[in-house]
A and B are shown apart, each in its own frame.
Chain A
Amino acid sequence: MKILFAAPDRDLLECYKTLFEADLGQTVTAFDGTQVVSLLSSEDFDLLILDRNIPRVDHKKIIGAAKQKSVPVIVLTDEPGVPGTPEPSPDIRLSYPFTFDSIKRAVYDTLEKQKRTVSENE
């Protein structure tokens, strides 16, 4: 599994890259929107974990780009609730603060959902 993890906080990226690689698979990190867009177009990913506050490119555009390549998306938000529904919507929204276990569950849920969608389409 190959994950693209995009967030503006480098400590977060570094810490979770290590954890993801230990438990989930290869993880590529990006700390701004242009990097994410560029990586999405140049490489194939099984999952995008995207911080809603990623700078330079609007997170909705990035979700749109990922959806075009059928990459499932988990959006990380610092909002306490879920204000409105951004279009196109992510597969799962996860609020900070979260534990590694909870993000791991979110990853499995998203991939499971993706699998079901693919098999339904086939």
Chain B
Amino acid sequence: MNKAEKKFRIYAILVIFVLLTVLLTVINGVNFTMAASDADELTQKLADRRGAFERKDGLPGGMQFQPDKPEDEDFMMGPMGPMGPDSPEMNESLRYFTVAFSNKKENAETVAYHISAVTEEEAKEWAAELIVQKTGWTRGTYRFRVYKDHGTTFVTVIDQGRELLPSFRILIISAAGEALALIIGWFLLVIIGRKIYAPLEEADRKQKIFIANANREFRVPLTVIDGNTELTERKYGPDDQTRSTHRQVAKMNELVEKLGSVGIFDNEEMNTADIPLSEYLTSALEREAESFASKGVKLTSDIEPDVTVKADPAAMSRLTDELVGNALKFALSKAGFDLRKENGAVLLEAYNDTDLPDGPADQAFDRFTTLQNAKEGGAGLGLSYVKESVKAHNGRASASVKDGIFTLRITL
């Protein structure tokens, strides 16, 4: 599995996870909020009746007897009967107790006691604990309301365990469902990922094979051309044509060397060590300082001393050379290099003036792509190497143009 496919799977599963979590959180949140609202409606109904429904047997007291089936014609609405707090069965089935406190906490009197899980004494003690609050959940599944009527404080506690059970079941089913969906999603992503990336990998593999073959096939003819030019010079003396042939062969040799490094980070193990990147960049700039000057390019640098990075020495040496070489090729009149440590990472910025339009310029990292007008032609492989090298070191590379300045930003 290549890195792009791995990234695709991880991002896709993260998106699925976030979407499912948001959806299920909203569903369960609304469910529990509605359960609390239903419970509040019931405690309000009890509060309106001074803490108790009148039961058919007339015990304990309440405001009025409420028949099981109201005679109101509009009572039956829709295909289903009334549910939740509106159910006429609620009067008989609700588990609750109400304790009234006349003046002091100690003067507690049970107004209604229709619950099995709590003794009357426990109910009084419990109510006394709640008297300073208004409403809410208590001991997990009990909803309470504290209210006053004619100087008496009432505390009504209703048991919502039975009503909350479906909500908790939905919560557990949601969590289990999400976990299952993620597992199934992962397997589907593996299958889809393979289908999507197989042709891309194949194309990449073919491109690399082509490059490797072309690379090998160019090598001997270039050697022969250079050798024959040498022979011609010996026979007839060097002239503009032979010198030009040598120059072109040298360019082709450079291209061949670069082609040889395409894809070298795919399989090879790197030998990492603490690399003094400040020194590498400084010496690369020093080596080319004269070339910059002779091209009339003003070179500036702001290199923090002793910046090190854990990396492959050869790869870092080549990377700094490529960055400097790129600036040398494409700068119109000025180029600069900044190197510093920032938030624990190493930040390397290479910039030069350009006539490219503003915007992201990450295509500069594509193989055989040259975005800028070079004074000398470029094969479009240098920055491709930079990107591959940075990726192999788990870093990031980006390119952009702003206000006529082309900036390569590398984080390692």
A residues at B contact (CB < 8 Å): 7, 9, 11-12, 15-16, 18-19, 22, 78-81, 95-100
Cα separation A98 to B260 with both chains bound (whole Å) = 15
Residues of B within 8 A of A81 (CB): 260, 264
Query: For the complex, is B220 an interface residue (Cβ under 8 Å from A)?
Result: yes
In the complex, which residues of chain A have a beta carbon less than 8 angstroms from the beta carbon of B223? 12, 96-98
A97 CB contacts on chain B under 8 angstroms: 218-220, 222-223, 226, 249, 252-253, 256
A22 to B260, CA, bound (A): 32
Interface presence of B104 (CB below 8 A):
no
Bound-state Cα–Cα, A100 to B246, Å: 12
Which chain B positions have C-beta within 8 A of A16?
227
CA–CA, A15 to B261, complex, Å? Answer: 29
Other 11 A-B pairs with CB < 8 A, given A15-B227, A80-B259, A100-B230: A12-B227, A15-B224, A15-B228, A15-B231, A18-B231, A79-B216, A80-B256, A96-B222, A97-B219, A97-B222, A97-B252
B86 in the interface (beta carbon within 8 A): no
Chain B residues with CB under 8 A of A99: 226, 230
B257 at the interface (CB under 8 A from A): yes
Task: Assess the B257–A19 pair: CB atoms within 8 A.
Answer: no
At the interface, yes or no: B234 with Cβ under 8 Å from chain A? yes
A19 touches B230 (CB 8 A): yes
14 contacts between A and B (CB under 8 A): A9-B220, A12-B220, A12-B227, A15-B231, A19-B227, A19-B230, A19-B231, A80-B259, A95-B219, A97-B218, A97-B223, A97-B252, A97-B253, A99-B226
User: What is the interface of chain B, defined by CB distance below 8 A to chain A?
Assistant: 215-216, 218-220, 222-224, 226-228, 230-231, 234, 249, 252-253, 256-257, 259-261, 264
A100 to B219 CA separation, bound complex (whole angstroms): 14
B317 shortest CB reach to chain A, Å: 15
Residues of B within 8 A of A79 (CB): 216, 260
Query: Of B215, B227, B230, which one neighbours A80 at CB under 8 angstroms?
Result: B215
Residue from A15, A18, A19, A96 in contact with B219 in the complex, judged by beta carbons closer than 8 Å: A96
Give CA–CA (A9, B215) in the complex, Å.
Answer: 16
Residues of A within 8 A of B230 (CB): 19, 99-100
Q: Is the CB of B261 within 8 A of A22?
A: no
Question: Smallest CB-CB separation from A83: which chain B residue?
Answer: B268
Q: A96 is contacted by which of B220, B228, B231 (Cβ under 8 Å)?
A: B220
Closest partner residue, chain A, to B234 (CB atom): A22
A7 to B257, CA, bound (A): 21
The interface residues of chain B lying within 8 Å CB-to-CB of A12 are 220, 223-224, 227
Q: A51 — nearest CB in chain B belongs to which residue? A: B220
| Chain A residue with the shortest CB-CB distance to B246 | A99
A5 to B253, CA, bound (A): 22
Residue of B nearest to A7 (CB): B220
Q: 6 tightest CB-CB pairs across the interface, nearest first? A: A80-B260, A96-B219, A97-B222, A15-B227, A78-B216, A97-B223
Interface centre among B218, B228, B252 (most CB of A within 10 A): B228
**Residues in B neighbouring A95, C-beta threshold 8 A:** 219
Tell me whether A80 and B234 are in contact in the complex, defined as CB-CB below 8 angstroms, given that A9-B224, A97-B223 are known contacts.
Answer: no
Whether B226 lies near A100 (C-beta < 8 A) is: yes
Bound: A96/B218 CA distance, A: 9
A15 contacts across to B, CB distance below 8 A? 224, 227-228, 231
